Amino acid sequence: IVMTQSPDSLAVSLGERATINCKSSQTILYNSNNNNYLAWYQQKPGQPPKLLISWASTRESGVPDRFSGSGSGTDFTLTISSLQAEDVAVYYCQQYLSSPQITFGQGTRLEI
C-alpha cells in the first residue's frame, strides 16, 4: 500500500491552522470492524518519531488537543488547529492494515 502525503512542505503562521493530507493507494478501512488502520507521527530533528494519532482519529495520551485526525477509506487529514512554535517538525502518516508490511508517507515538513 503506497501512502502519499501533500504538501511536501508547509509554512503556517503562529496561531493559524495547519492541514496535512495523506492518501492511500487502496482502502485502509477494514470493513469487519469499521476501523481505519492509519497513524500519524511527529518527528523533530535528531529524535525518533512520536505517535500522535492512531486509528485515524484517536489521539494518544498527552498529545495536545490542537492535533486532530480525520478521514476514512483512502483520504485522511491531520489538522493542527492553532500552530505553536514547538509544532515545527516533519509529520508522517503510516498505514498498518497490511501489518507487518507497514508503509509510511514521504513526510510533510511544517515550518513557521
Partner 1 sequence: DVQLVESGGGLIQPGGSLRLSCTVSGFTVSDIYMTWVRQAPGKGLEWVSTLYSVGSTHYADSVKGRFTISRDISQNTLFLQMDNLRTEDTAVYYCASCSGDSCYSAYWGQGTLVTVSS
User: Is the Cβ of residue 13 or residue 31 nearer to partner 1 in the bound state?
Assistant: 31
Closest CA to 98 of 40, 49, 25: 25
Q: Do the Cβ atoms of 110 and 91 come closer than 8 Å? A: yes
HSE at residue 38, side-chain half, CA atoms within 13 A, is 35
Q: Does position 81 bind partner 1 by CB under 8 A?
A: no
In this chain, which stretch among 9-17, 18-26, 72-80, 96-104 interacts with partner 1, using CB under 8 A? 96-104
Least distance in angstroms from the C-beta of 48 to partner 1: 4
Write 65-70 long-range contacts (CB < 8 A, 24+): 67/40, 69/38, 69/40
15 binds partner 1 per the rule CB under 8 A: no
Q: Which of 36, 42, 74, 94 binds partner 1 (CB under 8 A)?
A: 94
Q: Point out which residues bind partner 1 (CB under 8 A).
A: 37, 39, 41, 47-51, 54, 60, 92, 94, 96, 99-107
